[in-house]
Amino acid sequence: MTDRSSVLWRTVATPIILVVGLLVIAYLTWQFGSRPFNRTVTEMFIQVMMVVGFYVFVGNSGVISFGHVSFMYLGAYMTAWLTIPPFMKSVTLRGLPDWVLQTELSFWIVAPISALFAALFALLVGRIIMRLSGIAASIATFGLLGLVNNVYSNWDSVTGGQGSVVGIPPIMTIWIGWLGAAIAIAIAYLYSISRSGLALRATRDEEIAAQASGIDIVRERWIAFIVSAFIIGLAGALYAHFLSVVSPSAFFLKMTFIALAMLVVGGMYSLTGAVVGVVVISGLIDVLKRLEKGIDLGIGTLAIPNGVQEIAIGLIMIGILMFLPTGLTRNQEWTWTGWPFGGGSKGS
Amino acid sequence: MRFVKTFGTLTAVAALWSAPALADEIVVGFATAESGFMQAYDKPAQDAAMIRIKEINDAGGLLGKQIKVVNADTKTDQAEGAKAGLAVLDQGAELVVVSCDYDFGSPAALQAQAAGKVSFFLCAESIKAGIQGVGPFSFSSSVLAAVQGATMSEWAYNKKNARTFYRLLDSWTVYNKGICDGFDWMLPRLADAKLVGEDTFKNDDASIAAQISRIKALPQEPDAIMLCTMMPGAVSAIKQIRAAGINSMILNGSGVDGSYWLNAVPDLSNFFVPVQGSIYGDDPNPKVNEFNAKYKEFTGTDPSSQYVYPGYVLIDVWSKAVERAGTTDAAAVVAELEKMNEEPTLFGPRTFTNEIHHQNRGRYLIVETTAGKPKVVDEWTISEKIPVDYLVSR
């Protein structure tokens, strides 16, 4: 019999609920949704990965990061470099090393490589940035984003500069999207119950007490930074296959702020919050977009003017944060304490 | 539980959509920007396309069927662009018209390509907007940016006796680089023409004083400045060049066409722009002036720049190809389009081959602005085509 008091046993219901919940969404969409709607949901899964990646760092450390979208760049462009057919990239990306120009690998190999590349980058820069704390660390991550954006926008022979890089095989399906989200949730969960995750959350809640107990803040933040970079790098790889073109303008401020908004609306300090934030915000955006298009009510068409969607999303987010400052989940995890996890049932 | 509610909403939302095409209609889908900054570029060209569609429908339709138009908004966003492409394809689009710019139009064009349908960029001017960046069913109806740079330099050399050129590039967009690429290709072909200097700036630079002082430092003012830039930064750059007392002729791409900004640089002279058709009422082809009147009747305003015209051209060449093929089947239509060699349109001839679905040569009208008044003064077609290999390698 498993030891029922272990952390794993008490909390494993959360990732299971989330992953199964997303599976239900995926199945219903695949069964009943139109093709554009399938793409919306696939994109939502990639956003789940991205926001879960943000959560691993922001949620556990309490340090807001504006720089994690740089790992999207790293993942997406690495995927582009390794999956575009050689005859295309040898003309457009001539600055790449020869062996890269000759390589054309499959998605299943390239996606983990892209994620590892992002993690490796985080390993190098994290050592420096993680020494900072509070707002200085946030601004430093923002600087990182600016730096990566500038390199990718201007290194023409390697990244194609401002223009789009084309030729990435469009293999994304809703199921690969779901799988990516499930992997992201699993990694985030395992990290958060790990020794490092617990230690990092201790520093978030009581920094001085945690330090007095012998926790090395810099080291724990550094680990979270690397894990989150891995997840977001993987999201970048999937995003590249999703759009099949990558351009530097896709991964910048808009993406950063929408990801942070989703995380804050859902509940910044909980994994459930990260996932719920994405599902709710993308659901709302989709409903509003349909209203902009107009919905036929038989007696007439109900439509709101173009552009209202962006305003409405802003207002709704303000509303949510006014009444639920800790997010829709109030920073709680969805759990299940019924069978087989023992004791009576209780939702959050 | 909260997540049950979320699922409910999502599934309810999922069950919407779908409008099958009728057999006596041909559907043309516009996956273009109806909101966001690209709308300013897409809307005028799309209006011109609608005018051509109306003309065809009024004359009895295409293959005896009426053309039905469906729309989806890309919201000036790449991910939305792909969805918009799928949305119009699901409504039976035989032709997918996509955003003016390669970056924003390609996601929808790639969906059309994957579905085996023809796609046309409204006015993209990059070699990628076609076979090279989307696939064999994708076209653009405009003329490559490189042709604009090549046209201006060859014309100035031959007609204005320009021998010394200065190259000033705004490295903001691929379009700007494209103009200068064409200039770079043409210059060595012009005997004893010389590049006396080159420099770059960024569209949002408040001041280009440093660049200007380098021009002023030359022993002699260059005959012509090849200015590869676009709005909005172009206005400030031009103003500063003239304010510094540099009176060389300024050569540009089509991106600065239009008179809406001219009062910002009073009495601008010696300023040249290549255009596919004139919006100033003085086009040598009277039919273009008729079109301008029709456009005003249709939209309530005059065309603001030459970028309305490619929209008209694309419906024109596509419908001709459909008539000739006798079907809307993509492979047959593409084969007919690729047979077009110097096919006359209101706005210059169009040639498509199985190597390039864009114009690497094209007739341009030259508009000269004198004392703030733009006027067509000449027309020019470059002496040879810019090779595809050169264009792709830039």
Collapse the DSSP code of B121 into the 3-class scheme (helix H, G, I; strand E, B; otherwise coil) and give the result.
Answer: strand
Determine the pLDDT at residue B10. Answer: 46
Residue of A91, A166, A287 with shortest CB distance to B106 = A166
Contact residues on chain A for B9, CB-CB shorter than 8 A: 283, 287
For residue B135, give how far its alpha carbon lies from the nearest alpha carbon of chain A (Å): 10
Residue with tokens 């199945």: A27
CA dihedral B274, B276, B280, B285 (to 10 degrees): 130
Chain A residue with minimum CA distance to B108: A243
Determine the pLDDT at residue A166. Answer: 85
The vertex-B330 CA angle with B328 and B336, nearest 5°, equals: 80
Residues A347, B86: C-beta atoms closer than 8 Å: no
Read off the pLDDT of each residue in A29-47 and give the average, rounded to a whole number.
92
pLDDT in tens, A115-131: 999 999 999 999 999 99
Strands (E), B4-92: 25-32, 66-73
For residue A120, give how far its alpha carbon lies from the nearest alpha carbon of chain B (Å): 28
For residue A346, give how far its alpha carbon lies from the nearest alpha carbon of chain B (Å): 10
Q: Cα separations (Å) of B339 from B96, B333, B334?
A: 21, 10, 9
Length of chain A: 348
Mutation target for B interface from A19, A20, A41, A162: give the one with most B CBs within 10 A.
A162
Chain B residue with minimum CA distance to A248: B103
Contact residues on chain A for B2, CB-CB shorter than 8 A: 276, 328-329, 334
Type of residue at A247 = S
For residue B174, give how far its alpha carbon lies from the nearest alpha carbon of chain A (Å): 6
The interface residues of chain A toward chain B in range 38-57, judged by CB-CB distance below 8 A, are 39-40, 43
Determine the pLDDT at residue A160. Answer: 84
Residues A32, B73: C-beta atoms closer than 8 Å: no
> How many CB atoms lie under 10 A from the CB of residue B262?
18
For residue B32, give how far its alpha carbon lies from the nearest alpha carbon of chain A (Å): 14
Contact residues on chain B for A244, CB-CB shorter than 8 A: 107, 110
SS3 of A16-73: HHHHHHHHHHHHHHHHHCCHHHHHHHHHHHHHHHHHHHHHHHHHHHCCCCCCCHHHHH
Contact residues on chain B for A334, CB-CB shorter than 8 A: 1-3
For residue A153, give how far its alpha carbon lies from the nearest alpha carbon of chain B (Å): 10
Q: Does A10 lie at the interface with B, CB-CB under 8 angstroms?
A: no
Read off the pLDDT of each residue in A338-343 and give the average, rounded to a whole number.
67
Determine the pLDDT at residue A344. Answer: 42
The interface residues of chain A toward chain B in range 125-154, judged by CB-CB distance below 8 A, are none
Residues A245, B87: C-beta atoms closer than 8 Å: no
Residues A92, B392: C-beta atoms closer than 8 Å: yes
Please tell me which residue, A310 or B225, carries the higher pLDDT value.
Answer: B225
Determine the pLDDT at residue B13. Answer: 43
Residues A34, B18: C-beta atoms closer than 8 Å: yes
Query: Do B72 and B87 touch, CB atoms closer than 8 A?
Result: yes
pTM beyond 0.90: the answer is: no
State percent of chain A over pLDDT 70.
97
Residues B174, A161: C-beta atoms closer than 8 Å: yes
Residues B16, A290: C-beta atoms closer than 8 Å: yes
pLDDT in tens, A19-33: 999 999 999 999 998
Read off the pLDDT of each residue in A187-200 and give the average, rounded to a whole number.
95
Give the count of alpha carbons within 13 A of A248, CB side only.
21
Determine the pLDDT at residue B17. Answer: 41
Instruction: Look at the alpha carbons of B188, B190, B191, B194 in this order and tell me if their dihedral is positive or negative.
Output: negative
The ipTM, to two decimals, is 0.78
Residues A36, B107: C-beta atoms closer than 8 Å: no
Q: Does A346 lie at the interface with B, CB-CB under 8 angstroms?
A: no
Determine the pLDDT at residue A4. Answer: 58
pLDDT in tens, A201-250: 999 999 999 999 999 999 999 999 999 999 999 999 999 999 888 988 88
Determine the pLDDT at residue A250. Answer: 85
Residue A345 has pLDDT above 80, yes or no: no
Determine the pLDDT at residue A213. Answer: 92
Q: Cα separations (Å) of A268 from A53, A321, B71?
A: 12, 12, 38
Residues B16, A329: C-beta atoms closer than 8 Å: no
Collapse the DSSP code of B166 into the 3-class scheme (helix H, G, I; strand E, B; otherwise coil) and give the result.
Answer: strand
Rounded to the nearest integer, the mean pLDDT of chain A is: 89
Residue of B2, B35, B89 with shortest CB distance to A328 = B2
Residue of B13, B133, B173 with shortest CB distance to A283 = B13
Determine the pLDDT at residue B172. Answer: 83
Q: Mean pLDDT by 10-residue block, N- to C-terminus, for chain B (394 residues)?
A: 50 43 83 89 94 95 94 89 92 95 91 94 91 92 96 97 96 89 96 94 91 95 95 93 95 93 93 96 94 94 93 96 95 96 94 94 96 95 94 84
pLDDT in tens, A104-117: 999 999 999 999 99
Query: Do B346 and B309 touch, CB atoms closer than 8 A?
Result: yes
Read off the pLDDT of each residue in A85-104 and give the average, rounded to a whole number.
86
Residue B236's nearest CA partner among B174, B179, B181, B170 is B170
Residues B107, A24: C-beta atoms closer than 8 Å: no
Determine the pLDDT at residue A3. Answer: 52
Residue of A28, A36, A162 with shortest CB distance to B86 = A36
Contact residues on chain B for A28, CB-CB shorter than 8 A: 7, 10-11, 14
Determine the pLDDT at residue B332. Answer: 96
The interface residues of chain A toward chain B in range 67-126, judged by CB-CB distance below 8 A, are 91-92, 94
Query: Do B126 and B103 touch, CB atoms closer than 8 A?
Result: no
For residue A283, give how far its alpha carbon lies from the nearest alpha carbon of chain B (Å): 7
What is d(CA B235, CA B229) in angstroms, rounded to the nearest whole number?
10
Query: Do B27 and B289 touch, CB atoms closer than 8 A?
Result: no
Residue of A40, A250, A307 with shortest CB distance to B35 = A307
DSSP B308: G
Give the count of alpha carbons within 13 A of B146, CB side only.
25
Determine the pLDDT at residue B22. Answer: 57
Two structure tokens written together for B174: 């691929």
Contact residues on chain B for A29, CB-CB shorter than 8 A: 10, 14
